[in-house]
Amino acid sequence: MRFPDDWKWLFSPEGQEALKLAESLSTRDELKILTFLREKFHLAPEYAALVVQQMNLRERAKAKFPESADRWFFTPVGLEQATDAWVAAYKASRFPKGVPAADVCCGIGGDLAALALDRPVLGVDADPLTAAIAEWNLQTTVGKNASSESRVQAITAEDFLDQTRPEDFPSIHIDPDRRSEGVRTSQLFWFSPGLEVIEELLEGRQTAAVKLAPGTQVPETWLYRADELEWISRGRECRELVVWFREGVHHPDGALRRATVLKSHSSEVAGTICGRAGVPVPAAGVPGQYIYDVDSSVLAADLEGELARKYDLRRFGEGTVYLTGQEFIPDSEISCFKILKILPLDKKIVIQEARKLGWTNPEIKKRGKVPGPEIVRKWFRGPEKGESGTIILVQTTTRAWAVFCKRKVEEIRPK
């Protein structure tokens, strides 16, 4: 593979030694590290800069890859676009074990390494440097546990189609580049490879998954060919949309929609709901004892109606996604809050009520066109410690409300 000389050096024993030495230093001052590497280790400026960049990227990568960040290589864009270790492991568990899989547009190898633990894999990326990094990360992570057939090639998606047959890799994961024009986009038209090539990649596969941004508009034809559209969240953030295709599996009314909530730092599913989009949710005449903040994956999948039907809930008011009801619901798809008081969203009224309750540093949550939490938080003065609670800012079609409540933290019941 052809890639920059400085990276070729970084992969070498000398480069590895320099990186290990820099990481062992007690200081994290970049200028001091650069000076040390140049004057004491006699590195060229570009080599020293690359070492420092890798140190910084590895530190940032711990949030996504806590067990492998200190051994993997990264590029800034590669790290940002990579699927984190927990989501990747969950997705890999949905592929059949032992069946060869290809990861097209594999990037730095987040999904690829997870797939390789239970099956032989081929990683494909058009950029030689990215492919080389993915190869390093793959072998570093799985090592002897990986099939001897597992590898990475620096080829385009079109070259992959020319060089392989669908039966060679019955399973395929596709992560098209969402920045092919240098800007972030959720329009599939601008993805690379384009829709026409993606369609060819899907042809003849037993299991296929296309990773997309959560807000991507899925092609109309996929809505009837796919098995499932799955929105995956972790840590209350919707991380990605995965469109699943399975040979012989079709639904007359269109692909099922699924919202999957993973535990915060785990590939284990905390909760999931599957159903149809757009089920209507009537507004409550009077709010119940509880207000519920629906998980981002459920909202992205447009499944709050299914969730409301499951628990007999109503909307807090017309025009809001907050739900309300009479019962505490220990469900991972919902954050549950006991309502103390509902007041108009007026600065003086809110401050007055907070003083009565002794709240000086309340948690602020919002959805809709209401002031941001950072603005409302400035309304309060006092010590951060002490009695506190949650104020949920709710915008309905008639007015904005401040809902004073207490978060319910009871343990989630196993499903």
Whether residue 413 is contained in a domain is answered as: no
107 & 243 share domain: yes
Domain boundary among 224, 251, 275: 275
Low-confidence ranges of the chain (pLDDT < 50): 146, 180, 411-415
What is the pLDDT at residue 415?
41
**How would you list the strands of the sheet with 121-124, edge to edge?**
151-153, 121-124, 101-104, 171-174, 207-212, 237-246, 228-234, 256-262, 269-275
- Based on the structure, what is the number of domains in the chain? 3
Residues in contact with 45: Cβ distance below 8 Å, sequence separation at least 6, in sequence order: 38
Whether residue 217 is contained in a domain is answered as: yes
Whether residue 138 is contained in a domain is answered as: yes
What is the pLDDT at residue 382?
67
What is the pLDDT at residue 409?
61
Closest CA to 203 of 104, 351, 336: 104
> Whole-model pTM?
0.91
What distance in Å separates the CA atoms of residue 142 and residue 99, rounded to the nearest whole number? 17
Secondary structure of residue 274 in the 3-state scheme: strand
Whether residue 69 is contained in a domain is answered as: no
51 & 119 share domain: no
167 & 216 share domain: yes
Phi, psi torsion values for 369, nearest 5 degrees? -85, 70
339 & 240 share domain: no
What distance in Å separates the CA atoms of residue 302 and residue 91, rounded to the nearest whole number? 21
96 & 55 share domain: no
Whether residue 414 is contained in a domain is answered as: no
119 & 170 share domain: yes
Domain boundary among 244, 275, 306: 275
115 & 249 share domain: yes
Whether residue 318 is contained in a domain is answered as: yes
Secondary structure of residue 363 in the 3-state scheme: strand
158 & 263 share domain: yes
The position carrying tokens 């969402």 is: 178
What is the pLDDT at residue 411?
38
Tokens coding 86:
């927990």
What distance in Å separates the CA atoms of residue 144 and residue 131, rounded to the nearest whole number? 20
258 & 310 share domain: no
347-397 pLDDT, tens digit per residue, is 999 999 999 998 988 999 998 888 888 899 889 876 666 568 999 999 999
CATH number at residue 155: 3.40.50.150
Whether residue 412 is contained in a domain is answered as: no
What is the pLDDT at residue 149?
77
Whether residue 71 is contained in a domain is answered as: no
125 & 33 share domain: no
The DSSP secondary structure of 116-137, one letter per residue, reads HTSS-EEEE-SSHHHHHHHHHH
| Host domain of residue 31 | 5-61
What is the pLDDT at residue 347?
94
